[in-house]
Chain A
Amino acid sequence: MSDIVTDLQDEWTERLSEYLDDELPPGERLAFEEHLRFCLGCRATLEQLRAVKVRAAALRDRDPGPHVWATVAERIGAPGVTLDQPVDELAARRERKRIQFPWMRVGAVAALLALGIGIGRLTRRPETLPVAHVEAPAPGTPMSADAYRVAVAQHLGRTETLLTSFRAEAAGGRVDAQVGEWAGQMLTSTRLLLDSPAADDPKLRTLLEDMELVLAQIAALPRKTDANHTEVDLARRALEEKQLLPRMRTLTPAGTPATLGES
């Protein structure tokens, strides 16, 4: 009996990735799902492979050092052309630990607010995304702690709306490509917040990192013309397992203006 189980497991183990990527023919898919009901080994391996896939989708790019451009500039015959702001300097700023003067970090949150306002105003389905009613401060204007809370609350509100829409569509097995585009925009904003003083709060930082992971998965859906229900299900399960929606609702900063997050 144990040999039979092992043989079956071996047969299916080789095809776990195909199942994960929804590339098994329908008949084999059903047979595999039947096998999964009884095979703990395949279930465990499937979860591990799913975790690999999620981790891969959430990898972040790193910029090269300044010498790379210097060589490129030389080779294209433009040795005097420099980057306005060296790439590694931008990277270093992103990686730098949160520092002492919040006013020095106004730019990222101002950009976040501006981006949010832009997205809110320009999106094709404004009825499904809350539109911000807060003006972004002028560049260089010191930003108060309240402004950071405003940015966080707005972002959480918009992302919650997006994730709620995603969850509803995911229940049907198909997700509108535009949801993926919004997720990409929310992903950018999430990363801006991760680079802002808002992420100094460990609890919020953990939430933002989990949001980043889930948004990256949703944003990746439209990349594949055959985005399938396994990938949709993968993102939906991550959303549920991380308990993102309830955590987002409970973490709205105190003192947030009541109008935030309303459309």
Chain B
Amino acid sequence: MKAPTADAGANPLIAQLDAVKGGDAVAAAAGDAHAFARLYREHAGRIHSLARRMAGDHEADELTQDVFVRAWEKLRTFRGESAFGTWLHRLAVNLILARRQSSATRRARDAGDEALEWTPARSAHPELAMDFETAIGKLPDGARQIFVLFDVEGYRHEEIAEMLGVSVGTSKSQLHRARMILREHLG
């Protein structure tokens, strides 16, 4: 369940599971690498998928590593007000965005509008339909990040605008742009 703002809710079973995971976070903060390994196992798939969708396959492994190393270093600041998964997810988003904003790749890709040229109308040939994940990966960086944050991860435009330092209107228009491109690639 991808829920940046979700908590354990009212279900005691879920709350109990979160308490166990919270115990691992406390132990890891005290230096227990085995507890940290358990946290990694629990969350690696989600973080790696987030990194892959936002930054591409080629950067996903390194970004995932950086997120978990940063989490290890900052665990002492995790106070347990939110679930560990929520805290980690936000840390990951911030790190990925900071990395992408500082990369020359982003500037190069944003300079042109190659995504629109790249987008052929393939609906008449479903056999050629691109894998949806691959199509997300080929979106222009800005549109891709907003699409992943809004439609996949469930953030609101106001949150995205704050994270990316853009206006709400820009977030909305980039989301629309991403969807308009992706609609051509539904298998």
Contacts and interface: CB of A to CB of B under 8 A. Distances in A.
Contacts, number: 141
Interface in A57-95: 57, 59, 61-65, 67-69, 71-73, 75-78, 81-85, 87, 90-91
For this complex, into which size category does the number of interface residues on chain A fall?
35 or more
B65 interface: yes
Contact of B44 (A49, A63, A188, A224): A63
B98 to A, nearest CB: 18
B109 interface: no
A23 B72 CA distance: 39
B48 A75 contact: no
A258 interface: no
Contacts of A63: 44-45, 48
Interface in A1-32: 14, 16-18, 23
Contacts of B132: 55, 59
Contact of B175 (A17, A45, A65, A220): A17
Interface of B is mostly: helix
Contact of A223 (B133, B154, B172, B180): B154
Contacts of A90: 41
12 contacts: A59-B49, A64-B60, A65-B61, A68-B65, A72-B40, A76-B33, A82-B37, A83-B41, A87-B40, A87-B41, A118-B13, A188-B1
Q: Which 8 residue pairs across A and B have the least CB separation, nearest first?
A: A78-B33, A56-B151, A223-B154, A48-B183, A17-B176, A61-B49, A61-B45, A64-B48
